[in-house]
Amino acid sequence: MIIGVGIDVAEIDRFGAALERTPELARRLFIDAELVLPSGERRGTASLAARFAAKEAVAKALGAPGGLHWTDAEVYVEDSGQPRLRVRGTVAARAAELGVRAWHVSLSHDAGVASAVVVAEG
């Protein structure tokens, strides 16, 4: 059963400008594993914008309650290339209240826009 669906888009240049303007913003939005590639290189702005869009989409799929922490939703990619979601803390608590047992995530970025769709399944 589908409990919620969320979609969000982020303008990549605008998101990058926000990160430059407010250097501590990246640490408020992402955990270390989201900021750095397995090779040790810093993740690109388009990829971070897509992850931010996914976090917004998660909140929407959960009914957009207040009090969710950005870092309680982690977007990662499996070796196969499939994006996945790990939740903890405030996000896991809200998901448990609603009976969410599985997440489905799709990320994309093209033509200056990053997008994400998240489906919460019970």
Encoded tokens for 83: 């994006």
Query: Are the beta carbons of 87 and 63 closer than 8 angstroms?
Result: no
Q: What does the longest C-alpha to C-alpha distance in the chain come to?
A: 42
32 is in an annotated binding site: no
8 is in an annotated binding site: yes
Helix, strand or coil, per DSSP, at residue 63: coil
C-alpha to C-alpha distances, 16 to 27, 47, 118, nearest whole angstrom: 14, 11, 22
Encoded tokens for 62: 């959960």
C-alpha to C-alpha distances, 120 to 4, 16, 91, nearest whole angstrom: 5, 28, 12
Binding residues for Mg(2+): 8, 56
Binding residues: 8, 56
